[in-house]
Homo-oligomer: A and B are copies of this chain.
Amino acid sequence: MRIAVDAMGGDSPAMVVQGALQAALEWGMDITLVGQRQVIDALIQEQKEQVACRIEHCPEMIAMDEPPVKAIRKKKKASIRVAFELVKRGEADAVVSAGNSGATLAAGVLVLGKLKAIERPAFAGIFPGEKGDVIIIDVGANVDCRAEHLFHFGLMAEALATTCLNMMQPRVGLLNIGQEGGKGNEQVRLAHDLFKSSALNFIGNVEGRDIFSGEVQIIVCDGFVGNVALKLSEGLTESLIGIIKHAMAGLTEEQMAIHKRKGGFWEIIRKMDYAEYGGAPVLGINGVGIVCHGSSSARAVKNAVKMADHYAEQHMPERLAQYFETIQNQLPQSEN
């Protein structure tokens, strides 16, 4: 698969280029770096080991604080827009960006279009839970949602889970502040009813504590709540890893060896490090796009490239479209 990486996105283009090239080096990924040629050339020169990749030059870029939709419409030669155009022209199979995530979404929608039946594409955060992966949707694409949007998020996540992640009848939960049906704000109470009368394996409301319990595989929420939850989990895990590392720094090699042998403890902690999964797929557009944090490390970008490769190989958008084709009579009618 050919992966177009937005080399100008993110807090550090150096990390993005390094991560993309590491994916090429380690896994033989076919990388196109999209952005200002001069900048990219200089960053490639800095790498210890050289590896072949293409460069797609474009002069413009979108900053983290630019209003996404406006910027995408105005800057026709912005790196993230050009990256999606490579997919459109059949010169790439997927896009990875650590840049302005709103602009990534807007570019994906503008250039590739939305899947039929999908009004609001969403970001699916995939967390490593105690008993396997957990999908949280949406983790930041939509800050204000109606109940039907939440319901669509659940359907998209089920489509992703069953077609690309080998989950069978994943348990779906609605993120709320209590388990009882009447809890939460109006949007969530209405969504609860939609889920309850659907064919999904809906287990009802779930709370923040259930995200990592393994009792639920898909957790539905609006993009504001999901984004806070995603970043909170990452921050807290990072803090705890820091504390553990600090404690371990004083151990002798022998003591350290005991740890490494012990029950996979360190392995689990490491797995919870977000850099291990890299990014979140954009669901609902006609193509594969992965959004990463602006502050992504090279390792996070490398793993996001791997994720993009996986979903492109699985024909994720086509399979989502097929899924919605088969369930279209179950969809509630939306007003806009």
Which residues from chain A sit less than 8 Å from chain B, CB to CB? 64-65, 67, 130, 140, 143-144, 175, 177-178, 180, 182, 184-186, 188, 207-213, 221, 223-225, 227-240, 243-244, 246-247, 250-251, 255, 258-259, 262-265, 268-269, 272
Contact = CB atoms under 8 A, between A and B. Distances in A.
Contacts of A238: 209
Per DSSP, chain A at the interface is: helix
Contact of A269 (B65, B188, B240): B240
Contact of A229 (B228, B239, B251): B228
B263 A224 contact: no
A250 B236 contact: no
Nearest to A294: B178
A210 B231 CA distance: 8
A173 to B, nearest CB: 12
Given A130-B239, A143-B177, A212-B235, A207 B184 contact: no
Contacts of A64: 178, 180
Contact of A144 (B185, B232, B235, B269): B185
B247 A265 contact: yes
A224 B207 CA distance: 11
Nearest to A261: B250
B224 A212 contact: no
Contacts of A232: 208-209, 211, 229, 232-233
Contacts of A184: 143, 224
Given A208-B235, A228-B207, A262-B250, A223 B177 contact: yes
A236 B236 contact: yes
Contacts of A231: 207-209
B258 A262 contact: no
27 contacts: A65-B180, A65-B182, A67-B182, A143-B177, A177-B223, A185-B224, A207-B231, A207-B235, A208-B228, A208-B232, A208-B233, A208-B235, A209-B231, A210-B235, A211-B232, A211-B235, A213-B239, A228-B228, A229-B229, A229-B232, A232-B233, A240-B240, A240-B272, A246-B265, A247-B262, A247-B264, A250-B262
Contacts of A258: 251, 255
Contacts of A236: 211-212, 233, 236-237
Contacts of A251: 258, 262
A280 B184 CA distance: 19
A173 B5 CA distance: 33
A255 B233 CA distance: 30
8 nearest CB pairs, A to B: A209-B235, A208-B231, A247-B265, A208-B232, A177-B227, A65-B180, A208-B228, A209-B231
Contacts of A246: 263, 265
Nearest to A223: B177
B224 A177 contact: yes
Contacts of A182: 65, 67
B229 A208 contact: yes
A232 B206 CA distance: 11
A263 B247 contact: yes
Contacts of A264: 247
